[in-house]
Amino acid sequence: MKNRYSFSLILLLLAAALVWPAPPAQAKESETPLQAYVEALGPGWNLGNTFEASGDETSWGNPPVTKAFIDQLAAEGYKTIRLPITWRHRMGDAPDYAIDPAFMARIQEVVDWSLEAKMHVMINLHHDSNWIMNMASEHDEVMARFNAAWTQIAEHFKAYPDTLMFESVNEPRYSDDWSKDEPEYFTMLDELNVSFHSIVRSSGGNNGKRPLVLSTLTAAPTEARLLELSKTITKLQDKRLIATFHYYGYYPFSVNTAGTTTFDDTARQDLIQAFDRAYDIFTSKGIPVIVGEYGLLGFDKSLETVQHGEILKFFEYIGYYAREKKMPLLLWDNGQHFDRRTFKWVDEELHQVMVQGWKGRSSNAQSDSVYIRKGSLLQDTVLELNMNGNIFRELLSGDKVLTEGTDFRLEGEKLILTSALLERLLTEEYGVNAVLTAKFSSGADWPIKLIRYDTPVLRSSQGPQGIYSLPVLFNGDSLATLEAVYTGGGNAGPDEWTPYKEYIRHYYPDYKTGEIKFTDDFWSGVKDGEMQLRMHFRSGEIVPYTITKEGFSIIGVSAEDASAEEPVQETGQSPEAPELSAEPAVPALSPAGEEAGPGPGSGSRQTLLIVLISGLVVLAAAGIYWRTKANRKRGR
C-alpha cells in the first residue's frame, strides 16, 4: 500500500533516523545453540497423506514408504522430514489407550531410515487435533488420551538422538471457525503444551534435552496467537523449545478467489508481515521458529488453481524471505510435488525455483506469458523483469541463443521482445507458439510463452444443473477468474462476500473438451433467477454471459446470442472441436476427485414447453444428477 507523506514529515523522519539510537543488532538468535540447530533443518519436507490417513498408509493414494524413497529424498538435498501421524485409530480404549505395537514399529522403521540418511525427523500428533478439538466438553477424556499418546511415544523413542524432534500437536483448534479467538482456546492449548512438555522431559533418556516443537492456535501466524504461544514458552523456561507456524499464502491468492490471480503486492505484504511478526516475537528474542508447512491451499484441489508463473514467484519469494528471517521451510507434499513412485518432480520449473532458493534468489518477470492477438500488428513487446539482485545473461528460443539488438533489447529491468522476433516465431495457430528462456547470473531460468490468441467465444447452452456446462471456443486464451452477480443485485453463488468465485472449487475450464464446468458447490449457493457472469481471461479479455436458473434447469445465453437470437446448445451432444490452449488442461475432476459429468454439445434452442418438461424430468431424477459431495482428503 502506497502512503503519501508531506515533505516536512519526510524531513522529520530522516532527522529522527540520524539521531535515534540504533536498535540492538538482531543477532541474538545466533547466540543460542538451538538457533544454529534450527537453521540447519532447512530445507525440509512433509510426508503428507501417509501416516495421518484414516486407514493405512496407502489409503489416501500414496504408495508405502520405502528406504529407497527416503534415501532419494535425502539425495535431493532435504535435511529434515516431518512425519505427520494420526494416532487415534491406532490406539486402544481407556484406561491404557495402548498404541498398536505394529504401527509403532512401522513409525520407528521410517524414523530409523530417515536418521540413517542423515536427516532430522519431526513426529507429531496430526489429525488427532480433530478429537482434541472437543476438549471443552470432553476435557478429562481428551487429556487422558493425549497424555497416554505422548507417554508411550516418549518412552519408545527416549534413547534416540536429538536429531529426532517431537511436535505437541498439529494445527490445534477448538472450533470449526479457524479464525475465532477465545480466551478459553488459549487456556486449553497452554494446558496441552505444558502437559506435553512435562511428560517428555520427565520420561528419561535423551528426552531431557530433545528439541520440542509447539504450535500456535491453528498454526496461524496472527499476532494474538503468536503472543499467546510466547507466554507458554516463556513460562516453561526451557531453552530447547521451538515455535512453529504454517504459511499457505494470502488466502485469496492461495486458492484463486476474490479476483486475486497474481502474487501482487497485497499477497507479498501478507507474507512479509507474517514472517516479521514471528521474527519479532520469537526469533529476535532467542526462540527459534520452524515453518512446519508451507505451500498454496489451492494445491489441495489442483496444481492448476494458481497460474504457473505466479506460483513460481510465490515460491521464490517465500524461500528468500524465510531465509532472511532464519526460519527453515518444510514443504507440504501430499504426493503432488515429488512423485513417490518415479522419484521425479512433477513440476521441474518449480523444483528448480525451490532449490535455487535454498542459497540465493531467482529472477522472474511480470508474467511468464505474452499474449498476442491473431491478426494484430506486431510491435515490440515489453516485459518488466524482477532481477532480484541478478544480472541478465541471455535469451534462448529452444536451444538457440537469440541476438541482443535484433531479437531483443534490455533497457534497465525491461526486456523488450522485438517485432522481428515475434514475426519469426509466431504462427497463425492458437495457443503456445514458442517458449523463450531467460537466463541470469544466478538462480533458476524464467520461461516466457509466446501465445497466439483471439477473444474467446462463449456459446449459449442449456441443461440440467448436475451436468450443465458452458461451451467455449478458448481461441488460445486461458480462464483466470469468474465473476457472478444477480441481475437484480447482489453477489451470486457461494462466498457471497465477493462476486469472484473460487477456481476449481466452484468452476473450472476444461480445455480438452472446450467447456467451463460448474461444481455442485457452486450451484448449491445459487438462487433461482438470472445472474450475469464475467469471464476474465489471462490475455486481459473479459467476456460476459447470462445464466438463468429455475429449479434444476439451467439456461445460459452468450451476449452475441442474446442480441442475435441464435440457437442454444443443449447439454448432452458433441461439442465443437476445441482449440489449442495456452495453459495445461485442468483434469476434468470434481473437487471430490471424481470424474466430471459429460460435456455439452451443439443443438437448437428449445421451446419453453421442452424446458419445463426437462425440468420435471430432472426433478424426478435428481438423485442421478447430484453427486455426493465428498470432503477432499487432505493431509494438513
Mean pLDDT of the 157-163 span? 98
Catalytic: 171?
A: yes
What is the per-residue pLDDT for 565?
A: 57
Q: What is the mean pLDDT of the chain?
A: 88
29, 293, 502, 570: the active-site residue: 293
Give first-to-last CA distance, the chain, whole Å: 32
Distances from the Cα of 259 to the Cαs of 460, 481, 500, 503, in angstroms?
25, 6, 6, 10
Q: Residue 546 pLDDT > 90, yes or no? A: yes
Sequential DSSP letters for 104-143: HHHHHHHHHHHHHTT-EEEEE--TTHHHHGGGGTSHHHHH
88-92, 379-383, 566-570, 627-631: which has the minimum mean pLDDT?
A: 627-631
Read off the C-alpha cell for 232.
Answer: 507458554
Binned at pLDDT 50, 70 and 90, residue 501 comes out as very high
Counting DSSP H helices and E strands in the chain, the numbers are: 17, 27
Instruction: Determine what percent of the chain is predicted with pLDDT higher than 90.
Output: 83
Q: Residue 517 pLDDT > 70, yes or no? A: yes
Tell me the one-letter amino acid at 586.
Answer: V
Binned at pLDDT 50, 70 and 90, residue 262 comes out as very high
- How far apart, in whole angstroms, are the C-alpha atoms of residue 271 and residue 292? 15
Mean pLDDT of the 110-137 span? 98
Q: What is the pLDDT of residues 611-622, one digit of tens each?
A: 333 333 333 333
Contact 593, 580 (CB under 8 A): no
Q: Residue 588 pLDDT > 60, yes or no? A: no
Catalytic: 293?
A: yes
17-21, 122-126, 245-249: which has the minimum mean pLDDT?
A: 17-21
Tell me the one-letter amino acid at 242.
Answer: I
Alpha helices in 292-377 (DSSP H): 308-324, 348-356
Q: Residue 525 pLDDT > 50, yes or no? A: yes
Q: What is the pLDDT of residues 435-478, one digit of tens each?
A: 999 999 999 999 999 999 999 999 999 999 999 999 999 999 99
What is the per-residue pLDDT for 569?
A: 57
Burial class (CB in 10 A: 0-12, 13-18, 19+), 386: middle
Q: Residue 579 pLDDT > 80, yes or no? A: no
29, 52, 171, 316: the active-site residue: 171
Residue whose C-alpha cell is 457472478: 484
What is the per-residue pLDDT for 563?
A: 72
289-294 and 241-247: which strand pairing? parallel
Binned at pLDDT 50, 70 and 90, residue 77 comes out as very high
What is the per-residue pLDDT for 562?
A: 77
Q: Residue 6 pLDDT > 80, yes or no? A: no
- How far apart, in whole angstroms, are the C-alpha atoms of residue 592 and residue 152? 36
